[in-house]
Structure 1
C-alpha cells in the first residue's frame, strides 16, 4: 500500500498514476454533507479533467437539474452565465447535496476552463439518478411540442396515466401495487419512441431520450419501493450505471468519466454485507462491465467532525456533530495511525491479508442521520482494499455550505436511508 500525507492537489500524483489509462474514476463520499469530501473531490476532479482529459462528471443527481447546470458549464445557448444561479434552481430535497458553495466553486472553474476550448472539447456535467419522474416527463412534453408534435400523443398518454396522482409519487407507488394502476405500458411506448428519435444526432434529442429512460426506471423504482427489500436499490443503481454507459457512448470511444456519488454507490458492493442482502451498486457494475483495470474506485472516511444532514426524511437540514468513530471500525484504526489528511492507494498485498482485507465496520452517513445510532447503526462491514482502489482520509471534517434553495419533497425515501 502506498500512503501519502495530503496537503494540496499535487499530493494526488500517486492516485493519478494509479488511474493511468482507466476510463472511469468513481469518487465517493462518506456523507452527503461534508465540506472536506467535496473539496478534495473537486481538487482531484480538476486534475483529471485538466491533465488527463476526462470528458464529463456524472453525479448522484437528477438529469433535468444537472442538464441546466451542464448548459451553464459548457456555455450552451440559454445556459446561465453564473453556475450558482443554475444550482439555486435545484428544488428536490435534499437540495444541499448539489446546491452548495463547494459545487458552485467547482462549477465556476469548469465553466472558465470550458470557455477557453472549442465546444467539442468541453467537459460536461450530468445527473445519473432516477427520481425526476415528473420533471423528466415535463421536459419530454416541452421538447416534443417544439420539435416533433407528431410524437406528442404517446408522451401525453404516459402523462395522463400518472396525472391522477398529481405529483404525489408515494400515492402512485402505493396504487401501483395493483397491476391495473401501473403506467408501465404507456412508459414503454414513450421510451421506445424517444430511443428511436435519439438515434439521430443532437444534444436535445439525446437529453429527451435520457429523460424517457428516467421516466421508465422511475416507474419501476417507485413500484419496487412499495415491496421493500433490495429490488428498488438495484433498479436505481442499475439505472445509474446504464446512464453512465450511455454517456460514455455519447461522448465517443475515447471518452473518460468521473463519477461523484456516496461510498455506498461507489465502493464495490461485493466487498460488503450489501451483497448478502442481494444488493449491487454502480462501482460493482462498472468493474463488471468495463473491467477492473479500466475502473478506479475511490472511497472517503472521517473519524469525527460536523456534517449537514436532516433528522428525518424531508426535514430541514442541520449542522450535526459526527461523534468519534466506534471502537473496532476502520475509521478508528486510521485515526490511530494516519495523519490528519492522507491518501492510500491499495495493492494486491492489501487485498490478500491484513486489516484491509478483513470485514471491518466502515461508517456511512446519509442525508438522514441520527448520531445516537452510532452504537449499532451507520456502518457497513467492508473489506476495504477490495471495496476501493484508493482511499482519502480526513480525520476531522466540517459541514459543507448550502446555498439558499427551495426544498420540495415528492420522492420516497431511498434505501438504505438517504444514500
Structure 2
C-alpha cells in the first residue's frame, strides 16, 4: 500500500479507513436489538415498569424529555437558546465538539455559534482544532496582532490531509475571533493546533531563537540535530517528501528530535525565564511529535493502529498543556471519533483523544457528539480526489433514525440526565454515521453505545457540504 495515500486517508479518517478491520454493519442494516434489555422490559409486570418498556420501544418520547431545541445552526442572531447548553457545560474546562463528517457546513457553523456563546457567557478563551501545532501558532499570531493575511495563511497551512479546514465556515469563525480580539485586546481568544501532522518552519525558528538567547551553548548541537528538517517547501510537498524517506531514516530523525527535547529538559527554566523555557520545550516537543508520528510503519495495519493511538495521545497532551499552561478554557473541534469518551473501534483504535482528556481532566472534560439524519459532505473518493457526497435518511434501527423522531428538528440533550427508559436505549449498541476524510470507508457505520461515548449529543436533521475555498 502506498504510504502517502495511507497517511492521507488515515490522518483525518478517525477510525482509519485503511485499517484491516471487519466492516461494521451498514447504516442501511439495523443492528439486532439488545436481547437483555428487550427481554427485561417484556417480562416486566404491569404498571410503571410496563410503561417504561413501552417508552423503550418508542424511545424518542423519553429522549424528548431532555431535548432542548436549537433556534438556528447559523452563527448569527441571539444565543439565548444555548443557555441549556451552558448548564450542560457547567465547570468543564475543555469542551470537545465533534462532527459526523469532516466537511459539512452545519457542523462547522454550530461550532462557531457555540464558541461565541462560550466565549461570551462561560469565559472560554481558546479554540483548538486537529491541525498542526505550528499552524495554530501562525493563526494565533493573526488573531492577536493581525500578522499576515488570513487567506494566505489558510491556503498555506490547510493542505493535504488538512485541506478540509480551508473552507468559508472556518474563515468566518477566524474572522469573528479576530474582530473579538480587536475589541478585547487585553482578554483575547486564542487558536490552538493540537495535531502532529506537520511542523512548520516557525517552530524551528522559535526553538533556535530561544537557544541563541537563553542557552547559546546549545546552538551548535541543536543545529546538527535539526539538520535537514526545517521545511523549505509547502506543507503538502514537505510531508510527501518526508514519507518517501526510508523507514530507518525516519526513525533516526525521530531519535534526533527527541534528543533536542532532552537538551532543554536537562536544565529547567527558573524565575523570569521559566515561561519562555516551557514554551521552547513545547515547540521542540511538537517537532518531535511529527517525526515520531512518521516513524511508525504506515504500510502495516499494526503500525497504523499504533500511529493513530499515538496521534490521539499527543492531541490530548497538547490540549492539556495549553489549558494548564495558560488557564484558558478550550473549545476543542474534532471528529466524533476523536472527542468521544470511548473508542468507536477498540480492536484497531484502542484509545482516543477524549479518553485521554477524561483521564487527565476528569469532569473538566465534556464530550459533545454531533449527529445528523441526512445530507451532504465533502470527502476524498475512491479515486483519491475531493468530491461531494449525499446520503439519504437514516435507516430504521440506527441511532440517527430514532434521534430524528424526537419532537425537535435540531436539538441538544444531556445524556447524563436522561430518564431511565432513555438510558436503556442509549446504553444499547446502535449503528451511527461516522464519515471521515475518505468515503466510502469500512468504518463509516460502527455500532456504539451513545451513553458511553458522549456526555451530550447535538442532533441535526439535515446538513449540507461545506463551502471549500480551494
Cα distance, 1:298 vs structure 2: 0.6
Given the alignment of the two structures, is residue 222 of structure 1 paired with residue 294 of structure 2, yes or no?
yes
Distance 1:297 1:356, change over 3 A: same
CA distance in 1, matches of 2:125, 2:280: 21
Residue equivalent to 1:267: 340
> Is residue 331 of structure 2 the alignment partner of residue 234 of structure 1?
no
* Distance change >3 Å, CA 295–CA 350, structure 1 → 2: farther
- 1:69 is displaced (CA, Å) by 0.9
Selected match of 2:182 from 115, 118, 131: 115
Is the contact made by 1:136 and 1:212 (CA closer than 8 Å) also made in structure 2?
Answer: no
Cα distance in 2, alignment partners of residues 138 and 56 from structure 1: 24
Residues 295, 95 of structure 1: CA spacing in aligned structure 2 closer, same or farther, 3 A cutoff?
closer
Whole-Å separation in 2 of the counterparts to 1:378 and 1:212: 36
CA distance in 2, matches of 1:237, 1:132: 15
Q: Are 1:4 and 2:68 an aligned pair?
A: yes
- Whole-angstrom CA distance in 1 between matches of 2:324 and 2:443: 39
CA distance in 2, matches of 1:312, 1:138: 36
> TM (normalized to structure 1)?
0.82
Corresponding residue number in structure 2 for 1:342: 411
> Is residue 396 from structure 1 mapped to residue 469 from structure 2 by the alignment?
no
Are the structure 2 counterparts of residues 337 and 18 from structure 1 closer, same or farther at C-alpha, using a change threshold of 3 Å? closer
CA distance in 2, matches of 1:308, 1:147: 46
2:356 maps to which residue? 285
1:320 aligned onto 2:320:
no
The verdict on how the C-alpha distance between 1:207 and 1:89 changes in structure 2, with shifts beyond 3 A counting, is farther
**Displacement after TM superposition at 1:71 (Å):** 0.8
Report how far residue 135 of structure 1 moved. 4.4
User: What SS does the aligned partner of 1:31 have?
Assistant: coil
Distance 1:228 1:220, change over 3 A: farther
Alignment of 1:19-418 (within 5 A): 19-75=89-145, 79-80=147-148, 83-119=150-186, 121-133=187-199, 135=201, 138-140=204-206, 143=209, 147=213, 150-160=217-227, 168-172=241-245, 174-175=247-248, 182-195=252-265, 201=273, 207-226=279-298, 227-229=300-302, 230-252=305-327, 255-269=328-342, 272=344, 274-277=345-348, 279-291=350-362, 293-312=363-382, 315-349=384-418, 353-370=423-440, 377-404=443-470
Cα 1:208–1:318 shift into 2, 3 Å: farther
| Number of residue pairs matched by the alignment | 386
Tell me, what secondary structure is at the counterpart of 2:367?
Answer: strand
For the structure 1 residues 312 and 138, does the alpha-carbon distance in structure 2 shift closer, same or farther, using more than 3 Å as the test?
farther
Question: 2:92–2:364: 8 Å Cα contact kept in structure 1?
Answer: yes
Displacement of 1:206 in angstroms is 5.3
How far residue 217 of structure 1 moved from its aligned partner, in angstroms, is 2.0
8 Å CA contact 2:158–2:164 kept in 1: the answer is no
> Residue 207 of structure 2 contacts residue 283 of structure 2 at CA under 8 Å; is this kept in 1?
no
1:335 Cα offset (Å): 2.5
Gap change, CA 1:348 and 1:10, over 3 Å in 2: closer
Deviation track 1:342-396 (CA, whole Å, cap 9, x = no partner) reads 21221255688422111111111111112xx5xx640222111221111111121
SS in 2 for 1:55: strand
RMSD, matched Cα: 2.9
CA shift, 1:279, in A, is 1.4
Return the alpha-carbon distance in structure 1 between the equivalents of residues 275 and 157 of structure 2: 21
**Which protein has the larger Cα radius of gyration, Structure 1 or Structure 2?**
2
Consecutive unaligned residues in structure 1, runs of 5 or more? 405-419
Secondary structure, counterpart of 1:172 in structure 2: coil
SS, match of residue 411 in structure 2: strand
Match of 1:408 in 2: none
1:155: how far off?
3.0
The answer to whether the 8 Å contact 1:26/1:298 transfers is yes
| Deviation digits for residues 270-314 of structure 1 (CA, Å, limit 9, x no counterpart) | 5x4x234451111111111111x222111111121111111159x
